[in-house]
Amino acid sequence: MIGIIGAMEEEVAHLVKLCEEREEIVQGPYRFYKGRLSGKDVVLVRAGVGKCNAAACTQALIDRFQPSYIFNTGIAGAISPEVHILDLVISRDALQYDVDVTRFDYPLGKVPGDEKLGYDADPRLLEIAVEVNQEINPEHNSYIGRVVTGDRFVSSHETKEYLKKTFDATCCEMEGAAIAQIATKNGIPFVILRFISDEANDEASMVYEEFEAKAIEKTVDFMLEFLRRV
């Protein structure tokens, strides 16, 4: 069983429609959709926006379905200058940029009690993701890098530069590191897969509205092929 988590309804709805043998399972506030995609047993769920929603949903998914893998799909803002709209960022690792316990000598982003600064994705999944995107989206690039997560929509050049300088971030979003944290605590391999919808700068909100639908469309096409190869 593979768990697929998206933040927004739009990110999950298209995949749910394509599920064969679909079954809806309600648990607490979550609607899980169990079925088959690209020949694989999957369970899909919309977590909602933000780290708390993402973490709670991930643990609920694990408790109910015991997935072998967890994939977080969706869209993100570019931080690295070489990353552009509709490129794919694949998480080498993920961290929470708004965690600050530096008063007690922890590095920025480090959650006390966790083993490392960030959470490492499964290396095998990274290789597969690059291969798939090169084949189905040859006009756009793939980047393996650091996904940084915080409870804000980044839309300023100043914040973008801070995230690049401080964390060497590749992209930013609002759920991935929380999902990665819970997957890691449960010993479940994960990967975060984010198509770029904006460049996290002063024009981000306007650009996001223009490219959100295109980025989600690419997410669906990519995920169908990615599942075939996992």
Give the active site residue among 10, 11, 87, 131: 11
The Cα 220–Cα 230 span in angstroms is 16
* Cα 64 from Cα 142, distance rounded (Å): 33
Assess whether 225 carries a catalytic annotation: no
Return the SS3 of 78.
strand
Of 107, 214, 200, residue with least CA distance to 159? 200
- Spot the catalytic one: 87, 175, 198, 199: 198
Of 66, 56, 47, 39, the residue nearest 5 (C-alpha)? 47
55-70 burial, b for 16+ CB within 10 Å, e for fewer? bbbbebbbebbebebb
Q: Does residue 133 contact residue 196 with C-beta atoms inside 8 Å?
A: no
**Helix H segments across 19-97?**
51-65
Q: Angle at the Cα of 176 (from 171 to 182), degrees rounded to 5?
A: 150
- 87 in active site: no
Question: Computed from CA positions of residues 197, 61, 228, 184, in that sequence, does the dihedral angle turn out positive or negative?
Answer: positive
Which of 87, 127, 123, 91 minimizes the C-alpha distance to 226? 127
Catalytic sites, residue numbers: 11, 198
